[in-house]
Structure 1
Amino acid sequence: MASVPPGVDLCKIPAGRPPAGVTPNLTNPESLDAVTYSVCLIMTVWAVSFATARVYVNWHKLKLADYFMIIATILTITYTALILTLAPYNRHQWNVPACWFTGKYIKTIYAQVTLVGPVLFFSKCAIFLMFRQLFEVHRSIQICVWIGMVATFLIYFPSIPLSAIFEAPRRGQSWEDLLRSLSAGNGLKLVYWGIVQGSCSVALDLYIFVMPLPILSRLHLPFAKKMQLLAVFGTALIGVAASVIALVYRIELLGNDDSTWQQACLAVCVVAENNVAIVVGSMPAFANFMRLHVAELPTIRSLRSKLWSGSSNDKSGFGSSGEVANPVATFGSPQPRKPAAYYELTESAIMRSQFTTVHEEGVVQKSTGQNGNESGNGIVRTMDIFQQSRRRDEPQSTDHLV
Structure 2
Amino acid sequence: MDALPPGIDLSQVPLAANPNGDPPNFVNPPSLISTVQAVGITLGLISLVLVILRLTVYHRTKRGVGFDDVFVVMAFLLAAGYTGISCSLKDVTRHAWDTPISFLDVAYLKKLFVTSLFYGPMLFFAKASILLLYYRAFRPIKWLRISIYVILFILFCSYIVTVL
Q: Same fold (TM over 0.5)?
A: yes
The match for 2:115 is 112
Q: Pick closer, same or farther for the CA change 1:148–1:17 going to 2, 3 Å.
A: closer
Q: Pick closer, same or farther for the CA change 1:36–1:14 going to 2, 3 Å.
A: farther
Greater relative contact order (Cα 8 A, min sep 6): structure 1 or 2? 2
Alignment counterpart, residue 90 of structure 2, candidates 87, 90, 95: 87
Counterpart residue type for residue 7 of structure 2: P
Q: Distance in 2 between matches of 1:68 and 1:25?
A: 44
Equivalences, count: 158
Alignment counterpart, residue 62 of structure 1, candidates 65, 78, 91: 65
The match for 2:31 is 31
- CA-to-aligned-CA distance 1:88-110 (integer Å, 9 cap, x gap): 22111221244432101001111
Q: Distance in 2 between matches of 1:151 and 1:87?
A: 34
Residues 1:72 and 2:75 aligned together: yes
The 3-state SS of whatever aligns with 1:69 is helix
Q: TM-score w.r.t. structure 2 length?
A: 0.83
Counterpart residue type for residue 42 of structure 1: T
The match for 1:203 is none
- Aligned partners of 2:71 and 2:126 also within 8 Å: yes
Q: Where does 1:161-240 land on structure 2 (aligned, <5 Å)?
A: 161=164
Residues 1:51 and 2:48 aligned together: no
Q: Pick closer, same or farther for the CA change 1:3–1:36 going to 2, 3 Å.
A: farther
The match for 1:16 is 15
Q: Pick closer, same or farther for the CA change 1:85–1:2 going to 2, 3 Å.
A: farther
- Aligned partners of 1:69 and 1:123 also within 8 Å: yes
The 3-state SS of whatever aligns with 1:157 is helix
Q: Distance in 2 between matches of 1:15 and 1:3?
A: 14
More helix by share: 2
Q: Distance in 2 between matches of 1:32 and 1:86?
A: 11
For residue 62 of structure 1, report the CA deviation from its aligned partner.
1.0
Q: Pick closer, same or farther for the CA change 1:90–1:4 going to 2, 3 Å.
A: farther
Q: TM-score w.r.t. structure 1 length?
A: 0.36
Q: Pick closer, same or farther for the CA change 1:56–1:4 going to 2, 3 Å.
A: farther
Stretches of structure 2 that go unaligned for 5 or more consecutive residues are none
- Aligned partners of 1:14 and 1:95 also within 8 Å: no
Counterpart residue type for residue 76 of structure 1: A
- Aligned partners of 2:71 and 2:129 also within 8 Å: yes
- Aligned partners of 2:72 and 2:125 also within 8 Å: yes
The 3-state SS of whatever aligns with 2:21 is coil
Q: Distance in 2 between matches of 1:83 and 1:126?
A: 24
Counterpart residue type for residue 50 of structure 1: L
For residue 156 of structure 1, report the CA deviation from its aligned partner.
0.9
Q: Pick closer, same or farther for the CA change 1:62–1:85 going to 2, 3 Å.
A: same
Runs of 4 or more consecutive aligned structure 1 residues displaced over 6 Å after TM superposition? none
RMSD: 2.3
- CA-to-aligned-CA distance 1:69-92 (integer Å, 9 cap, x gap): 111111111111111111322111
Q: Distance in 2 between matches of 1:3 and 1:114?
A: 35
- CA-to-aligned-CA distance 1:8-44 (integer Å, 9 cap, x gap): 583xx24324336312112332322233123212221
Highest Rg: 1 or 2? 1
Stretches of structure 1 that go unaligned for 5 or more consecutive residues are 162-402
Q: Percent identity, aligned pairs only?
A: 22
Counterpart residue type for residue 67 of structure 2: L
